[in-house]
Amino acid sequence: MKKQSRVLAALVLLFLFSVSGYGATKPDSLSLKIGQMLMIGFRGFSLAEAPEIAADIRQRHIGGVVLFDYDVPSHSPSRNISSPDQLSHLTMELQNMTRVPLLIAIDQEGGKVNRLKPVRGFPPSCSAQHLGELNNPDSTRAAALQCARTLKAMHIALNLGPVADLNVNPDNPVIGKLGRSFSSDPDVVISNVKVICTTYREEGIIPTLKHFPGHGSSTTDTHLDFTDISATWSEKELEPYRALIASGYRDPIMTAHVFNRHLDSLYPATLSKATLNGLLRTKLAFKGVIISDDMQMKAIANRYGLETAIRQAIDAGVDILLFGNNTTYDPAIASKATAIINSLLHKKIITRERIDRSYRRIIELKKRYLFTRT
């Protein structure tokens, strides 16, 4: 592990010398800027098993990858994670491929949403619901510290959590029933999320609040179908975001694919300029990186073509487009997304300035966490 840390430290030093605009050699590389907006899932326990993601990193300069323990399309436990040693080696292989450090991401919420399982040699975890019922800062900090240190040992910098959704509907198939929410009480959610985010930052792990503007009141699952929360959502679900942003939160926020006609009569939140630019950026004054939920989930993929979804998401204000490749699997998804974004630029449907804004936010996030990571 010490040897791996030295390798990573050397990468960091190289990055520090080269990344003032990605070095003097490529100050305006459009391909780099577009690539940094993509986070891609892949199959394989090693780079030798994952030539597509290697090409995405080398040729398309993708900014991040997301890891899973289970491959949903093939119904197989063979995906990216088999043991701590294997995972540590994989993440180091990934980082060694690029001068711009990758955001290596995972959904390690604890409880049922838990990619690093004891059966594979990782510590046990507890759910957000359990921590919310205890509502004890020491318990929450202990759980967050164990998670953060596990991720750090695996060279995973970005956790796609904690969940800031309120448990408005305990029968919600994707939030309440899975124990992913701390509470229906905004104050309990806020206090526990604050402890987790602070603990993560102290350990060099990036937290990600999700799912904006609130998924806790839904009655259906955005993985499977269109999800309309117009009749169940209330502004109360914004309270965690409002309080955390007001207190200085500037780490990523993940969108929800939920539709709410009171916020946007046409588009779900991920594709909604009114929701992301109007509500999150302008009204709540959020300045950080916005990450989409998985763009291949059926709430988006079944209703919008890939080009429309990408165009709308970028126009809405999404900075990182996440393609988990674990609802459907498309090894060419990064090249397709890159081609679409280039086409939208060529047609002047989106502008270079818009791409630059996302690139600056992403690089600022990486500078805070990855440029000094040892």
Distance CA 100, CA 318 (A): 20
Structural domain 30-369, CATH architecture: Alpha-Beta Barrel (3.20)
- List per-residue pLDDT tens for the chain, 374 residues long: 444 444 444 444 444 434 434 433 354 599 999 999 999 999 999 999 999 999 999 999 999 999 999 999 999 999 999 999 999 999 999 999 998 999 999 999 999 999 999 999 999 999 999 999 999 999 999 999 999 999 999 999 999 999 999 999 999 999 999 999 999 999 999 999 999 999 999 999 999 999 999 999 998 767 867 789 999 999 999 999 999 999 999 999 999 999 999 999 999 999 999 999 999 999 999 999 999 999 999 889 999 999 999 999 999 999 999 999 999 999 999 999 999 999 999 999 999 999 999 999 999 999 999 976 43
**Catalytic residue selected from 107, 165, 293, 294:** 293
Distance CA 137, CA 145 (A): 12
**Catalytic residue selected from 155, 223, 251, 264:** 223
Residue 225 is a catalytic residue:
no
Q: How many CA atoms lie within 13 A of 198 on its CB side?
A: 14
* Entry pTM: 0.92
Tokens of residue 232, six digits: 């169940």
Contacts for 244 with CB less than 8 Å, ≥ 6 apart: 164, 190, 193, 194, 197, 209
Amino acid at residue number 24: A
pLDDT at position 1, please? 46
Across the chain, the runs of DSSP E, i.e. the strands, are: 38-41, 64-67, 103-106, 108-110, 113-114, 158-159, 209-212, 253-255, 290-291, 321-323
Residue 228 is a catalytic residue:
no
Task: Work out the angle at residue 366's Cα, subtended by the Cα atoms of residues 364 and 369, and round it to the nearest 5 degrees.
Answer: 110
In the chain, domain spans: 30-369
